């Protein structure tokens, strides 16, 4: 009887064998590119920090278009005066920009600052820019004479007079 019970149990064990697919481990070697990221900050005008700087979303939510506000703002520069670096344009959102000038024409920013993250400190306001000034800005941006002549209306838009600017440049080195 013991033999029959032993044979039955052994048969059942083999019949219930492992039905899972075998796991095959494949050793792969991949080389990961490592990048070293450094951020270089340059200061222009009054020495400032980016502590307490508003984002563009916060600025658009909080700014009172009927007055002016002293504040710090961090945004991307989209355009810079190609002649001297005496003004720049910041992107506020996909449709709105703000021209930044520098208090008392007291300092300039590098002409290659477009595309870089900047923090500005100063006074923001809504302002009307006359046709002559708009044409001057277009000339500074190396616009064609046809583009300059097409400016015939003043613009009411965001303006910022900065007392200090930080420009952040991100550098990546692949190893």
Of 2-6, 105-109, 142-146, the least confident: 2-6
pLDDT for position 173: 77
Q: Measuring CA to CA, how many Å separate 90 from each of 21, 73, 78, 113?
A: 59, 10, 6, 11
For the chain, list the domains and their CATH numbers: 42-169 (2.40.50)
pLDDT for position 170: 83
Of 14-18, 83-87, 102-106, 116-120, the least confident: 14-18
- How many alpha carbons lie under 13 Å from residue 28 in its C-beta half-sphere? 5
Per-residue confidence band for 110, with pLDDT thresholds at 50, 70 and 90: very high
pLDDT digits (tens, 9 = 90+) for 47-87: 999 999 999 999 999 887 778 899 999 999 999 999 999 99
Cβ neighbors of 34 (< 8 A, separation 6 or more) are 174, 175
Section 124-153 average pLDDT: 92
Q: Measuring CA to CA, how many Å separate 112 from each of 31, 49, 65, 128, 144?
A: 35, 21, 30, 27, 20
pTM of the model: 0.73
pLDDT for position 24: 36
pLDDT for position 67: 80
Section 150-175 average pLDDT: 90
């Amino acid at each position: 009887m013991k033999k029959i019970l032993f044979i039955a149990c052994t048969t059942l064990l083999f019949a219930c064998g492992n039905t899972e697919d075998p796991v095959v481990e494949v050793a792969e070697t991949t080389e990961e590119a490592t990048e070293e990221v450094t951020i270089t900050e340059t200061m222009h005008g009054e020495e400032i920090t980016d502590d307490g700087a508003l984002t563009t979303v916060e600025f658009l939510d909080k700014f009172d278009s009927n007055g002016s506000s002293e504040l710090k703002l961090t945004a991307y520069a989209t355009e810079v005066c190609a002649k001297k670096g005496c003004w720049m344009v910041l992107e506020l959102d996909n449709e709105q920009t703000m021209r930044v000038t520098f208090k008392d024409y007291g300092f300039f920013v590098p002409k290659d600052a477009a595309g870089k993250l900047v923090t500005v400190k100063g006074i923001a306001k809504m302002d009307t820019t006359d046709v002559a000034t708009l044409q001057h800005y277009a000339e500074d941006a190396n616009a064609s004479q046809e583009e300059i002549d097409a400016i015939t209306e003043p613009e009411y838009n965001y303006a910022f007079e900065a007392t200090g600017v930080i420009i952040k440049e991100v550098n990546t080195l692949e190893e």
